[in-house]
Structure formats: structure tokens, C-alpha cells
């Protein structure tokens, strides 16, 4: 996951998992990798950051986030 510099400091200070790996990028963004088993809870955590985060991999996690965003769009287009 890559977080914008606007959100980066909050995320860098947050403990998502004991084996997480984070690094600051040259553009001021923060890249975070964490091991996980179930994607449901992680997707909820990702979505709370809105447009301030981009899932880079794995593809099934990206697909899960996209599916939730699609479902949300259907609700809020009314």
C-alpha cells in the first residue's frame, strides 16, 4: 500500500502488524507492507483512508477494495 504524504505520518506511527515493513519514498509518500491472512478486516482498514491510499499488490486485495468501492458508488449515486 502507498499512502500520500498527507496521510503518511499517521500511518507511519500506526502499528498495523508486528511484522509490518514501512518505508518513506522519495516523493514523501509512505509505503507499507504487512502480512495478513483474511482480507476483510484489512480492506476495512484501507477504506478508512479513502483516496489517501493506493493498494499496489496483491491483486486479490486490490480487487476486494475495488469491489467495495463499486458497491459504495451504487449506494451513493442515489
What domain range is 13 assigned to?
Answer: 2-76
The pLDDT score that the predictor gives to residue 28 is 97
pLDDT tens digits for range 63-74: 999 999 999 999
The pLDDT score that the predictor gives to residue 37 is 87
Counting as low any pLDDT under 50, the low residues of the chain are: none
The pLDDT score that the predictor gives to residue 1 is 97
Please tell me the total count of domains within the chain. Answer: 1
45 vs 39: CA distance, rounded Å: 10
Q: Judging by beta carbons within 10 Å of its beta carbon (0-12, 13-18, 19+), is residue 38 exposed, middle or buried? A: exposed
28 vs 67: CA distance, rounded Å: 28
The pLDDT score that the predictor gives to residue 54 is 98
Amino acid at each position: 500500500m502507498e499512502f500520500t504524504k498527507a496521510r503518511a505520518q499517521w500511518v507511519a506511527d500506526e502499528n498495523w502488524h508486528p511484522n509490518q515493513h514501512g518505508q518513506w519514498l522519495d516523493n514523501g509518500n509512505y509505503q507499507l507492507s504487512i502480512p495478513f491472512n483474511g482480507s476483510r478486516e484489512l480492506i476495512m482498514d484501507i477504506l478508512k483512508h479513502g483516496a489517501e491510499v493506493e493498494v499496489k499488490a496483491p491483486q486479490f486485495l486490490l480487487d476486494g477494495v475495488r469491489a467495495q468501492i463499486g458497491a459504495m458508488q451504487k449506494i451513493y449515486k442515489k
